[in-house]
Amino acid sequence: GAGVSQSPSNKVTEKGKDVELRCDPISGHTALYWYRQSLGQGLEFLIYFQGNSAPDKSGLPSDRFSAERTGGSVSTLTIQRTQQEDSAVYLCASSEMLADNEQFFGPGTRLTVL
Amino acid sequence: AQKVTQAQTEISVVEKEDVTLDCVYETRDTTYYLFWYKQPPSGELVFLIRRNSFDEQNEISGRYSWNFQKSTSSFNFTITASQVVDSAVYFCALRNTGFQKLVFGTGTRLLVSP
């Protein structure tokens, strides 16, 4: 079946603009995760959704970052007033409900803030 | 605190050599999961293996094998008879029970030359 998809694959924006990144999880996966991969910080957890609620937002780096999930499916990560340090690859993953299931990752969105 | 250390930043081998990627983890929990992911040049993280803390049996899957030792908090990954297609960045990750997020190591870049 189809894997996790993310759009856009690349996004170039100017400092101070808002951006929205989209994630479509694998059908039937109730858990959805956002991670960020950057040269300086490696792979960092941002936020986790179970259904439409986010029990763990501990990785969001600032209040400029927010995410939502609707219908237990698609999720959007929004970054307001982007800064150059936000430049990174944003990865989305999904998994089945059971706690010990592996997370399947999408191809990522490469965000470049000029 | 949870932490994963992959001390090897980059390893270069010639095709058909065996290579071992090291992973050392830290956690206070007695129940946890360990993972290995592969990130080829295309960028998408590919799940390789999950191991729970109660199962210390080593696992072999084709040319891949994993050695889990709780006594040394290590979960090492060996590729036998390496191939050029094995060239990628390999990440070790930890997840504590009760938390959904993966804590990743910094990755080991493996270069396999013909």
The average confidence (pLDDT) of chain B is 93
Chain A residue with CA closest to B98: the answer is A99
How confident is the model at residue A100, as a pLDDT?
A: 65
Tell me the per-residue pLDDT of B14-62, one tens digit each, with 9 for 90 and over. Answer: 999 999 999 999 999 889 999 999 999 888 999 999 998 988 888 888 9
CA atoms of B77 and A68, how far apart (whole Å): 36
Tell me the per-residue pLDDT of A20-36, one tens digit each, with 9 for 90 and over. Answer: 999 999 998 999 999 99
Strand pairing class (B103-104; B88-96):
antiparallel
Q: B45 and A100 in contact by Cβ < 8 A?
A: no
Tell me the per-residue pLDDT of A53-87, one tens digit each, with 9 for 90 and over. Answer: 988 899 999 999 999 998 889 999 999 999 999 99
Q: Give contacts of A108 with chain B, Cβ < 8 Å.
A: 43-44
Listed residue (B42, B58, B104) closest to A59, CA to CA: B104
Write down the residue that tokens 């040269």 correspond to: A39
pLDDT band with cut points at 50, 70 and 90 for residue A39: confident
Which residues are CB-contacts of B97 (< 8 A; sequence separation ≥ 6)?
A: A99, B29, B31, B32, B33
- Identify whether the C-beta of residue A106 lies closer than 8 Å to the C-beta of residue A6: yes
Amino acid at B112: V
A22 membership: H or E segment, kind and range: strand A19-24
Which residues are CB-contacts of B8 (< 8 A; sequence separation ≥ 6)?
A: B21, B22, B108
Cβ under 8 Å to A: B residues 37-76:
37, 42-47, 50, 52
Using a pLDDT cut of 90, give the percent of chain B over it: 78
Which of the residue ranges A53-67, A91-105, B84-98 would you say has the lowest mean pLDDT? A91-105
Chain B residue with CA closest to A97: the answer is B100
